[in-house]
Amino acid sequence: MQPKRVVLDKVASAAVHGKVAPRVDLGFDLPARPGAVVAVRVLNQKSTYNTLEDVHGRMRLVMPGDLVAGVLGFRNALHGYVGHVPERVAPGDVLNILNLGGVIGACTSYNPDVGRPYEVEVLGAVLHYPTFGERAPRPLVIERSPELERTELPAEVPPVVVVAGTAMNAGKTTAVCALIRHLKRRGKRVAAGKCTGVSLLRDTLEMRDFGAASTRSFMDFGVVTTSADDGPPVTRAIVAALAQERPDAIILELGDGILGTYGVSQILEDPELRRVLSATVVCASDPVGAWGAVRFLDERFGIRPCALTGPVTDNEGGAAAVRREFGIEARNARRAGDELTELVLAALEGGE
């Protein structure tokens, strides 16, 4: 069957490294694997969680009938959707948009706050022509970078600050951006990375908005959604790439929660990464969550955070509970970002 040419209404940010044009040819033999770029037609309308991030980082309203290029992948989000790539994908199949970045799969569970996901009809695989001058199309697949095969970090790496949290929406990106802003105001050159999660440009774009001199994410290395297996190699690749920029400090956001399935625990127990880890900031939503995170990090990895932040510090009641129970300072990243930065700097100078 000859390829079919269509004009897309939107290209999702998950496909940014596929360099998908608005007009594409579609094939009908689809590789059912993470990273495969597919074209779909939106079938339903939503009043919540109803936008899609495009390749420029703009959030665009999704409407029934829209033709969208997205990427097959999985998601396991407490406050969003849970879904996977089916064993077989064919034109006419109905799948779902699993995140704002256009990751597509079969949804098996959803959080009521975001409502049922968009349903989409699979139209075909987006094709590309890898051999110049030849009409020999291949399904476009975002492949993993060879850089992920490296196992060792450079001998010299700038101080690395890790920001982890109890779950998604615990304030990690807010904390990272506050640290970037206040370190920059002190004359520091800061690089930042998003190491785990599901494809989305928003967080690294925000890091740049707050003053990061350079940024990297797992998306830059061909990973659609991180897992326990690829969390450590992705993070090593991010640290190695950012270290080449010679910043004064590297700040890493570990997306999702410490107990999530995206590879955060595996990163924290990786020997090479532990060698360069200089300070850890924990974000939590409530005092019991903070208690669990502090205890888990201590018992599992021997890590003691230099500071706690997140919604638990939104007022003095939660912050006081943290200090009372753990003897760890707590500062709100939104209201006291400068003080939070001072705690991190003290940890770096003390070698904690």
Mean pLDDT of 318-344: 92
Residue 21 tokens, joined: 């044009």
Residue 17 tokens, joined: 């490294």
Confidence at residue 100, expressed as pLDDT on a 0 to 100 scale: 97
Confidence of residue 343 (pLDDT cuts 50, 70, 90): very high
Continuous segment of H or E residues that includes residue 257: none
Q: Would the pLDDT of 1 be above 70?
A: no
303: nearest Cα among 311, 294, 313? 294
Confidence of residue 135 (pLDDT cuts 50, 70, 90): confident
Confidence of residue 244 (pLDDT cuts 50, 70, 90): very high
User: Which of helix, strand or coil describes residue 101?
Assistant: coil
Helix axes 172-185 and 337-350, enclosed angle (nearest 10) = 80
Q: Where is average pLDDT lowest: 34-38, 143-147, 160-164?
A: 143-147
- For 78, half-sphere exposure in the C-beta direction (CA atoms, 13 angstrom radius) is 13
Cα angle for residues 129, 217, 301 (degrees, 5° grid)? 135
Q: Give the residue with greater pLDDT, 270 vs 326.
A: 270
% of the chain residues with pLDDT over 90: 87
Mean pLDDT of 181-206: 97
Q: Would the pLDDT of 70 be above 90?
A: yes
Each residue's pLDDT tens digit, 19-37: 999 999 999 999 999 999 9
Cα distances (Å, whole numbers) of residue 218 to 39, 65, 222, 226, 295:
23, 31, 7, 7, 28
Confidence at residue 150, expressed as pLDDT on a 0 to 100 scale: 82
User: Which of helix, strand or coil describes residue 316?
Assistant: helix
Confidence of residue 300 (pLDDT cuts 50, 70, 90): very high
Each residue's pLDDT tens digit, 47-60: 999 999 999 999 99
Q: Would the pLDDT of 120 be above 70?
A: yes
Q: Would the pLDDT of 317 be above 90?
A: no
Domains and CATH numbers, the chain: 4-143 (no CATH), 147-350 (3.40.50.300)
Confidence at residue 298, expressed as pLDDT on a 0 to 100 scale: 95
The residue whose two tokens read 């990895």 is: 301
DSSP of 27-52: ES----STTBEEEEEE----SSS-EE
Confidence of residue 352 (pLDDT cuts 50, 70, 90): very low
If you average pLDDT over every residue of the chain, what do you get? 94
